[in-house]
Chain A
Amino acid sequence: MLGSGIIKGFIETGRNFAESYFVPERLTTVQYPEEQLPPHENTRTIPFLVYDASDPAVGLRCTACQICEQECPPGCIRIVKDTTKKPDFVGKMQFQPAVFEIDISVCMGCGICAEVCPFDSIKMDHVFNLCAVERLESMLVRKERLAKSNDYFRSIHPREAREIDAQRGEEKAKAEAKTRAAAAAKASPATNPVCGAAA
């Protein structure tokens, strides 16, 4: 019968409409912004820098190795090495960035910087409601604004942070053991006791 296909279609839309009131699979939207779905752990938006403990100036993990700067596909990261060094978490002297800037108007959020970072320093954030009224100053995120605490990292990436914390704890314990052994031996007190630990 001509028109039976259309009627069949109407029955389908009618069923969908009626069921949208009580079948959750039929209505998949939420009332944003009053209601917000939690992001997935892997969700990535823009990068940030992780620092340990409470002071970003002391605990910043970044060693200004500039690998992320080289690998960034759109080239939105700019790093200038500082002339002074600071000790990292195992006590080894490492470079630090004097300037670390990410132009988030250029950043495409691919996450390659976080993937290639050998120091677990640069990670991807979950913030997505980023807006600004001008595009120069507020879109150029400097070191101070990029630095976020390890506690924040643990809160957004619990599984990954657990793995990294465990690995770093192990390395630290190894380095401390080596320091103690060197101190006990006292064979050559002038040498740097931890230089082999992080390698």
Chain B
Amino acid sequence: MISAEIHNDTSALAEFEPASLDHDVLEVAMGPHHPSTHGVFRMDLVLDGETVVKLKPVFGYLHRNHEKIAEQNGYLAAIPYTDRLDYICSMTNNWAYVLTVEKLAGITVPERAEYIRVIVGELTRLFNHVCLAGFLLQDMGALGTPLMYAFREREKILDLFEALSGSRMMCNYLRFGGCRCDFPEGWIARAGEVVSNFSAFLDEFEALLTDNEILQARAQGVGVLPAALAINAGVTGPSLRASGVDYDLRKVDKYGIYARFEFRVPLGKNGDVFDRYMVRILEARESLKILEAALAAIPEGPILDPKTKLRGLRPKAGEAYGRIEAPKGELGFYLISDGGPKPYRFRVRPPSLINLTILEDLCLGHTVADVVVILGSIDIVLGEVDR
């Protein structure tokens, strides 16, 4: 339907009328089955030669009715569906949702569970950022090598997640009032080993990439996101911080126990693709610091508040908005309860979707090859965009 609209609407093309007869603008539908669109995502491009003069993102191919399904099911049954929003970072999705339910129903979380959340959340951030760098390099034409190195390290963390929660990606691990099960034997030691080796891997990854002249030529000065536009469009996460805006919910909201950890928020200066890459690598290094502190300080104790009612939870009528700093930006859930066993309204504020709205502004005037790189640097997951 949308494609028919753009084809019939010739007025949109009128303003790009070619200066002479020997060249014409060209409409290209890039996607939905294109390896560089990170899922089923289409961009309707209008090209003048190789330069983008208009870009229209088209999404919805992966719409699964997440919000309505959650309104049909109870509060507990929505947790496995949140895994499937941003299917790379299921732990942080769980976290944002359970945080909102806890706010809504006034549930407290035991100390140990708070530490577990920080540990699994930061591990998620770690591999999300590394994989993003790998995907970005793949979009630039480095087929395989950086991505495979990133996936090799990610595999070690997914292995930890599987030992803990039973599933590599669809963890379904956190619960309102705590989490589902305690660490298996020797898990903390293994996690400590992965974390202590990760710093060496980041050094190696940076030696492979950061100084690479091709990466610099492709990334520096490309897709510049001015801070004002980023703030106006509601962009959050590493993309916002790469534009130099100091806004990290872990510092602003201090949700959970983040106030106890020492870490810095890396900021970019130019807001280009290279800054967005660099901010993520630096953030991964800061995550390592948090992880080391959390793994050392984790106390013994219960992992689930014994007063929590997992089945048949009926929060009293009211509303709550909970948000966390997910690896991709501010992930928020908005819940309204009418006192029944199901949420009256369930709404997700997905960082991927809102960060995607600036795509056209970043791409205008660049070539098609740069569009691919810019899209890669925004870091979207279509499961979260379309929900």
Alpha-carbon gap, A9 to B216, bound state (A):
13
The answer, among B162, B212, B214, for a CB contact under 8 Å with A40, is B162
Contact yes or no, B145 A44, CB < 8 A = no
- Cβ contacts under 8 Å, B156 to chain A: 28
Given A6-B213, A73-B81, the answer on whether A42 and B204 have CB atoms closer than 8 Å is no
Contact yes or no, A44 B74, CB < 8 A = no
Contact yes or no, A108 B208, CB < 8 A = no
Say if the beta carbon of B310 comes within 8 Å of chain A: yes
- Cβ contacts under 8 Å, B352 to chain A: none
Contact yes or no, A71 B77, CB < 8 A = yes
Q: Provide a sorted-by-A list of 24 A–B residue pairs whose CB atoms are within 8 angstroms.
A: A2-B213, A3-B213, A6-B212, A6-B214, A9-B207, A9-B212, A12-B207, A13-B208, A16-B204, A42-B164, A43-B162, A44-B167, A71-B74, A71-B76, A71-B311, A72-B77, A73-B73, A109-B167, A109-B170, A110-B83, A110-B172, A111-B166, A112-B77, A116-B76
Contact yes or no, A42 B172, CB < 8 A = no
Residues of B in contact with A (beta carbons under 8 Å apart):
73-74, 76-81, 83, 145, 149, 152, 155-156, 162-167, 170, 172, 180-181, 184, 197, 204, 207-216, 310-311
Binary interface profile of A, 95-127, with partner B (CB < 8 Å = 1, else 0)? 000000000000011111001100000001000
Contact yes or no, B76 A42, CB < 8 A = no
The answer, among B83, B155, B166, B311, for a CB contact under 8 Å with A44, is B166
Say if the beta carbon of A186 comes within 8 Å of chain B: no
Known contacts A42-B164, A72-B77; 18 further A-B pairs (Cβ under 8 A) = A2-B213, A6-B213, A6-B214, A9-B212, A12-B204, A12-B208, A16-B149, A28-B152, A28-B156, A40-B163, A40-B184, A42-B166, A42-B181, A108-B80, A110-B80, A112-B77, A115-B310, A116-B311
A interface bracket (residues with beta carbon within 8 Å of B): 20 to 34
Say if the beta carbon of A165 comes within 8 Å of chain B: no
Alpha-carbon gap, A8 to B77, bound state (A):
50
Say if the beta carbon of A4 comes within 8 Å of chain B: yes
Interface residues of A in 56-111 (CB under 8 A from B): 67, 71-73, 108-111
Contact yes or no, A4 B310, CB < 8 A = no
Contact yes or no, A124 B166, CB < 8 A = yes
Say if the beta carbon of A189 comes within 8 Å of chain B: no
Which single residue of chain A is at the shortest CB-CB distance from B160? Answer: A40
A-B contact count (CB 8 A): 86
Given A42-B165, A110-B170, the answer on whether A5 and B213 have CB atoms closer than 8 Å is yes
Contact yes or no, A9 B166, CB < 8 A = no
Alpha-carbon gap, A115 to B83, bound state (A):
17
- Cβ contacts under 8 Å, A25 to chain B: 197
**Closest Cβ of chain B: how far from A186's Cβ, in Å?**
41
**Closest Cβ of chain A: how far from B58's Cβ, in Å?**
28
Which single residue of chain A is at the shortest CB-CB distance from B211? Answer: A5
Alpha-carbon gap, A26 to B209, bound state (A):
18
Contact yes or no, B170 A67, CB < 8 A = no
**In the complex, the 6 A-B pairs of residues with the closest C-beta atoms, listed nearest first:** A5-B211, A110-B80, A44-B166, A73-B77, A42-B166, A12-B208
- Cβ contacts under 8 Å, B78 to chain A: 73
Which single residue of chain A is at the shortest CB-CB distance from B148? Answer: A16
Interface residues of A in 40-62 (CB under 8 A from B): 40-44
Contact yes or no, A112 B80, CB < 8 A = yes
**Closest Cβ of chain A: how far from B227's Cβ, in Å?**
29
- Cβ contacts under 8 Å, B212 to chain A: 5-6, 8-9
Alpha-carbon gap, A24 to B215, bound state (A):
30
Alpha-carbon gap, A124 to B170, bound state (A):
14
Alpha-carbon gap, A12 to B208, bound state (A):
6
Which single residue of chain B is at the shortest CB-CB distance from A110? Answer: B80
Alpha-carbon gap, A161 to B117, bound state (A):
27
